[in-house]
């Protein structure tokens, strides 16, 4: 059965192969259809042509998807390019100046060229204070590569302590700050040693340093800070006059932050400040310092003041202050103590009381008073300067011997209010016209506030306080014919063109009549010849003056120390030549040895006055008194 079926199948197959079917109607299975190949032309690639409809529809969808993606990509790219374009335009147009300046700031550094401070001269044109070149080293931490090594290297050259080196390293590591001082105002040798290291981030610039020649008159000249700003003395008082206008220099830096010397340019030249010409005589100032220093040391005192002044103009030739340090060493004071410290003047003030009574025509130099050795007033005992019984004394003798009670009796010849007005007119209770920094006005209460014995003690120098500057100007009223002349320190200014402008003359006002001042001058001449001031005598020169010894108030509110002793403030104020005074000198000794006889004005201060008078005579070429009649045989008087 199977064989039969197989033969039938074979026959059927052969029939189909031999049958002729038309081409247009012949059906060929897709998988076995064979296409007639087109002859291939040499050099021309064959191209197969497909005409399938279903695959063509699928390819179009993909193309659409691709096109959409390309559009989106193009849009994003265009948007980004547009943003970039806007940003570039913004930076190049709107922010161009800003970034250009930032670029310049990165490459350029503006350095200030400090202007020279004005020179301070003495009256003869000698330099007292001036600015000299120096170099300041600084760092820009943002350019310092190794702060620790840099600090160590600088420390070895600048001789820094380990603590200073550590602090410097810390500052160099702080990159949030682009300016740190390394060393201010070095001398040229030290500055060259630092700059030769060629350390990254370490730079330098020149600036002036203020120096006082020989430290002469440092107490009145004062000081400046490292930036050249006056902080004391005349440097502070005349800071605006002495300060110049700073210049500016531009320096370009390389990529390592080092300056390029060839690129330095000065945009504005500095202008120096004006110069000051003082009334000080440098030689006299130096000798005054030396003489006072020697005398204070001899007396084992706490300190002392000395002032040498022109009697007619008020111009100060020298003004000195000496202080004993805690170490026991004596040195010139950095401050002008003659203007800033005030003490009760003691017996020098008797000049004012006696002159007031004479000027009011209440007494003359020949008026006589019965003077006791002591007297009690309202439970307060006033003792005379020296012990004695009831004694008849003239006004001349009272002042010559410096009698406390005699002066009280003279002052009672005029109303208390009148005495007060004279004290004010002599310049007490107010600052002088110097207007020196921190100058004291002293202490003088209104007369309405005087109580009890205060109305009496002011007559001989207690109950009010005065500076040495006020005191020398007050006594100078007698030397200047009864006219007060204010002390003066600045003689002229000199501008940048060399023009000299003199300062205004000292303020003056009449205090005493010429006749009163003449009588007082005669009495004060006797003080030096016969009284308490004999040690102030000068060879071939008539001298007039007055001694004064004041007790110093202690912290316990009394004149007695805790151990029952006393501390003194001894002074002498005099002038010469007595007939026509040219120079007035004050010497005050603060706390001379209380156990010594050299604790009084006539013994502590008068000898120093005599030495300074000789200095002034020599330096100012004052001629000896032509009618010098000398003094009678000296009588040593130890008193006030």
Query: H-helix or E-strand containing 470?
Result: helix 468-479
Q: Answer whether residue 4 shows pLDDT above 60.
A: no
pLDDT (average), residues 98-124: 74
d(CA 281, CA 620): 10
Q: What is the pLDDT of residue 40?
A: 46
CB contact at 8 A, 472 and 487: yes
Q: Who's near 116: CB < 8 A, 6+ residues apart?
A: 131, 208, 244, 270, 272, 273
pLDDT tens, 128-138? 999 888 888 88
d(CA 266, CA 305): 49
Question: What is the share, in percent, of the chain residues with pLDDT greater than 70?
Answer: 82
Q: Which CATH superfamily is domain 109-140+207-278 in?
A: Penicillin-binding protein 2a (Domain 2) (3.90.1310.10)
pLDDT tens, 526-538? 999 999 999 999 9
**Domain map of the chain by residue range?**
109-140+207-278, 282-619
Q: How many CB atoms within 10 Å of residue 125? A: 9
Which of 494, 413, 497, 405 is CA-nearest to residue 453? 405
Q: Which two tokens stand for residue 567?
A: 């501390």
pLDDT tens, 408-442? 999 999 999 999 999 999 999 999 999 999 999 99
Query: H-helix or E-strand containing 275?
Result: strand 275-278
Work out the mean pLDDT of the chain and round it to a whole number: 85
Q: Answer whether residue 362 shows pLDDT above 90.
A: yes
What residues form DSSP beta bridges with 209? 132
DSSP label at 93? I
pLDDT (average), residues 617-629: 82
Confidence of residue 271 (pLDDT cuts 50, 70, 90): confident
Q: Who's near 401: CB < 8 A, 6+ residues apart?
A: 385, 386, 393, 531, 532, 637, 639
Least confident of 148-162, 260-274, 437-451: 260-274
d(CA 572, CA 549): 9
Per CATH, 109-140+207-278 and 282-619 having the same topology is answered no
d(CA 489, CA 439): 14
Cα–Cα distances (Å) from 108 to 205, 223, 268, in that order, read: 15, 34, 16
Query: In a 3-state reduction of DSSP, which class is residue 533?
Result: coil
Q: What is the pLDDT of residue 46?
A: 46
pLDDT tens, 37-57? 554 445 444 444 444 445 554
pLDDT (average), residues 367-371: 96
What residues form DSSP beta bridges with 275? 494
Is the model more confident about 557 or about 487? 487
d(CA 144, CA 199): 8
d(CA 143, CA 403): 78
Q: Answer whether residue 13 shows pLDDT above 60.
A: no
pLDDT (average), residues 265-273: 76
Q: Who's near 114: CB < 8 A, 6+ residues apart?
A: 206, 207, 208, 228, 246, 270
Cα–Cα distances (Å) from 203 to 107, 140, 200, 465, in that order, read: 14, 8, 8, 54
CB contact at 8 A, 275 and 123: no
Confidence of residue 27 (pLDDT cuts 50, 70, 90): very low
Is the model more confident about 415 or about 142? 415
The fold adopted by the segment(s) 282-619 is Beta-lactamase (3.40.710)
pLDDT (average), residues 305-319: 98
d(CA 121, CA 118): 10
d(CA 617, CA 576): 9
What residues form DSSP beta bridges with 253? 259
d(CA 347, CA 605): 13
Q: Is the dihedral of CA 355, 361, 362, 365 positive or negative?
A: positive
pTM: 0.78
Q: Answer whether residue 631 shows pLDDT above 70.
A: yes
Is the model more confident about 259 or about 368? 368
pLDDT (average), residues 507-516: 97
Question: What would you report as the CA-atom Rg of the chain, rounded to the nearest whole angstrom?
Answer: 50
pLDDT tens, 563-592? 878 899 999 999 999 999 999 999 999 999
CB contact at 8 A, 309 and 487: yes
Q: Is the dihedral of CA 215, 224, 182, 135 positive or negative?
A: negative
DSSP label at 302? S
């Amino acid at each position: 059965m199977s064989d039969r079926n197989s033969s039938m199948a074979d026959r059927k197959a052969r029939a189909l192969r031999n049958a002729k079917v038309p081409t247009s109607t012949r059906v060929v299975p897709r998988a076995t259809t064979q296409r007639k190949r087109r002859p291939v032309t040499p050099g021309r690639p064959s191209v197969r042509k497909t005409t399938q409809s279903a695959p063509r529809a699928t390819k179009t969808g993909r193309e659409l998807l691709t096109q959409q993606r390309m559009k989106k990509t193009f849009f994003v790219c265009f948007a980004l390019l547009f943003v970039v374009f806007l940003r570039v335009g913004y930076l190049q147009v709107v922010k161009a100046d800003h970034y250009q300046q930032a670029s310049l700031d990165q490459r350029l550094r503006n350095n200030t060229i400090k202007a020279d401070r004005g020179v301070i001269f003495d009256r003869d044109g000698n330099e007292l204070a001036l600015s000299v070149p120096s170099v300041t080293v600084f760092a820009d931490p943002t350019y310092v590569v190794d702060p620790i090594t840099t600090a160590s290297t600088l420390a070895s050259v600048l001789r820094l302590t380990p603590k200073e080196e550590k602090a410097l390293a810390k500052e160099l590591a702080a990159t949030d700050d682009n300016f740190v001082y390394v060393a201010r105002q070095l001398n040229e040798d030290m500055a060259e040693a630092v700059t030769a290291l060629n350390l990254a981030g370490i730079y330098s610039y020149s600036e002036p340093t203020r120096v006082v020649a020989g430290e002469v008159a440092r107490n009145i000249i004062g000081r400046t800070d490292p930036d050249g700003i006056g902080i004391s003395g005349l440097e502070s008082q005349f800071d605006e006059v002495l300060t110049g206008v700073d210049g500016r220099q531009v320096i370009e830096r390389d990529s390592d932050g080092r300056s390029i010397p060839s690129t330095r340019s000065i945009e504005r030249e500095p202008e120096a400040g004006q110069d000051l010409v003082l009334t000080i005589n440098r030689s006299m100032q130096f000798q005054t310092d030396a003489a006072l220093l020697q005398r204070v040391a001899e007396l084992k005192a706490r300190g002392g003041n000395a002032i040498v002044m022109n009697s007619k103009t008020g111009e100060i030739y020298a003004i000195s202050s000496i202080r004993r340090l805690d170490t026991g060493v004596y040195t010139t004071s950095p401050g002008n103590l003659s203007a800033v410290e005030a003490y009760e003047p003691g017996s020098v003030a008797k000049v004012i009381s006696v002159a007031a009574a004479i000027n009011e025509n209440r007494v003359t130099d020949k008026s006589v008073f019965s003077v006791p050795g002591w007297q009690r007033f309202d439970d307060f005992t006033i003792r005379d300067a020296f012990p004695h019984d009831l004694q008849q004394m003239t006004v001349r003798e009272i002042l010559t011997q410096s009698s406390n009670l005699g002066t009280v009796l003279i002052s009672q010849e005029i109303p208390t209010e009148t005495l007060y007005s004279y004290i004010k007119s002599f310049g007490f209770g107010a600052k002088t016209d110097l207007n020196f920094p921190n100058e004291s006005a002293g202490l003088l209460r209104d007369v309405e506030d005087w109580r009890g014995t205060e109305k009496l003690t002011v007559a001989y120098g207690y109950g009010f306080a005065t500076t040495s500057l006020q005191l020398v100007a007050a006594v100078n009223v007698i030397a200047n014919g009864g006219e007060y002349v204010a002390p003066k320190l600045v003689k002229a200014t000199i501008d940048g063109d060399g023009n000299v402008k003199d300062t205004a003359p000292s303020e003056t006002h009449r205090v005493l009549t010429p006749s009163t001042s003449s009588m007082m001058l005669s009495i004060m001449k006797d003080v030096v010849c016969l009284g308490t001031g004999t040690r102030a005598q000068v060879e071939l020169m008539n001298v007039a003056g007055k001694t004064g010894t004041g007790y110093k108030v202690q912290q316990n509110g009394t004149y007695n120390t805790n151990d029952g002793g006393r501390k003194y403030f001894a002074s002498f104020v005099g002038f010469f030549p007595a007939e026509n005074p040219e120079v007035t000198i004050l010497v005050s000794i603060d706390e001379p040895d209380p156990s010594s006889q050299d604790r009084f004005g006539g013994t502590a201060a008068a000898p120093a006055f005599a030495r300074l008078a000789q200095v002034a005579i020599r330096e100012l070429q004052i001629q000896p008194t032509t009618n010098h009649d000398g003094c009678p045989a000296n009588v040593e008087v130890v008193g006030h």
